[in-house]
Amino acid sequence: MDRSFCIAPMMRRTDRHFRYLCGLLSKESILFTEMIHANAINRNEPERFLNNSGISNATVLQVGGSSPEELKKATLIANEFNYSEINLNLGCPSSKVQSGNFGAVLMKDVNLVKNCLTEMIKVSAKEVTVKIRLGVDDLNIYQGLDYFIEELSKIGVNTFYVHARIALLKGLDPKENRTIPPLNYERVFQIKEDFKHLNVIINGGIGDFKMAKDKFKKLDGIMAGRAIYDLPFKLFDVDHIFYNSTEINNNLISVINEMFEYIDKLDSKDEIKTKFHMLNLFKGLNNAKKSRLLLLSNEKNDKIKNGLKDIVLASENQAA
């Protein structure tokens, strides 16, 4: 799997509806699910959480949890769905996640993490990977992080998605943990230098993709999250920049048409979610505000679709 460009897992963002939109904008990007707790998979109807139908891009299922048995069971269930990889979240800093003893707090207990991953690897039909921070609270981001990575690599973890910040679990909320701890790209470069046999993908603060391709060329890929959700149309350039694709991209009109073909097959709840994910697709266009009003309205889908296409065409004509 070519991880040159990955779209980060984001809670309440990277559900299957947003992933479908991303797949229309970039055929090559690696997609991630939201983090899904192993218990949610095991104790409910799996289809509710694991449905990835209609999505052709390689997709990574990210799971959370700290029970080796529950994670093993969830991995077995996930084998029946069309995911390309299973990723254990070791980076989420939210207080709710901490209280459940999963996410970033697990970086403080390497033996428990190893037990979890060992059970997952035993039964997984796909590669099992991790997403980590540079450290947690006072965990040493040099010797401590190297030891953590080395121990995980010994049990067969070969791919690390690294958010280039530490996580401060006391005093900062998840949003602050995405911005306040300083980025430390050099530390990620050093990880790759010290562990050349491992795949290292960098995450955090990446918004200029052309610059990122050059800046992080020594690594195995980049991962962007909010930059994509806030400006989804930036994905139009990804296949060309990172995968040397010569295919002609979908245009915004065709994306609108395909999205409404998709929306028309959804129930009302999922339809609302999907339209919400489209709100930022028209940022920067003339009458972008009108596009938001249309998507949030109770108008018939045909009227919304045609109104959005009119906005795009009018903006293109003014630019020409």
Active centre residues (catalytic): 92
- Mapping DSSP onto H, E and C, the string for the chain reads CCCCEEECCCCCCCCHHHHHHHHHHCCCCEEEEEEEEHHHHHCCCHHHHHCCCCCCCCEEEEEECCCHHHHHHHHHHHCCCCCCEEEEEECCCCHHHHHCCCHHHHHHCHHHHHHHHHHHHHHCCCEEEEEEEEEECCCCCCHHHHHHHHHHHHCCCCEEEEEEEEECCCCCCHHHHCCCCCCCHHHHHHHHHHCCCCEEEEECCCCCHHHHHHHCCCCCEEEECHHHHHCHHHHHHHHHHHHCCCCCCCCHHHHHHHHHHHHCCCCHHHHHHHHHHCHHHHCCCCCHHHHHHHHCCCCCHHHHHHHHHHHHHHHHHHHC
- Could you give phi then psi for residue 261, rounded to 5 degrees? -65, -40
CA distance 87 to 64: 9
